[in-house]
Amino acid sequence: MSQTRQIAEMILRGFRKHFQLFQKVTAKAKQRFEQADWRAYQQDSSERISFYDQRVAETVAELKQAMPSDCLNESLWQQVKQQYLQYLLFHPQAELAETFYNSVFCRLFARKY
């Protein structure tokens, strides 16, 4: 597998993990509300907010560990973005997944998002 595909797939796995965990916590919201379990409801809300940054940080750490230092080459990352966008053509959460990619890229290259 090419380095481009490997990086794109790692980022997509990070997004999938984020989205699955977010959905799992969100699914509890109705029950928490109906049972007036406000403390748990608030805790779940806080978790959902922090999930995104946690998953981005995890994905960045995995990329840094798995990839050689030359993976921070912007021309390589142009190819990674194109590969990633190919994976998103029929993805049900394509816009969210693209935002996740952008967050990972900005974190790796020390840019603000």
Per-residue pLDDT tens over the stretch 89-112:
999 999 999 999 999 999 998 877
What is the four-CA torsion angle of 4, 5, 7, 12, rounded to 10 degrees?
A: 140
Per-residue pLDDT tens over the stretch 28-47:
888 888 888 889 888 878 88
Q: Does residue 4 contact residue 83 with C-beta atoms inside 8 Å?
A: yes
Q: What pLDDT, on a 0 to 100 scale, did the predictor assign at position 113?
A: 59
| Structure-block tokens of residue 24 | 């799992």
Stronger pLDDT, 8 or 72, i.e. the higher one:
8
| Structure-block tokens of residue 4 | 């481009």
Residue by residue, DSSP assigns the chain as: --HHHHHHHHHHHHHHHHHHHHHHHHHTHHHHHHTT-HHHHHHHHHHHHHHHHHHHHHHHHHHHHHS-GGGG-HHHHHHHHHHHHHHTTT-TTHHHHHHHHHHHHHHHTT---
Q: Is the pTM of this model over 0.85?
A: yes
Say how far apart CA 75 and CA 54 lie, in whole Å: 27
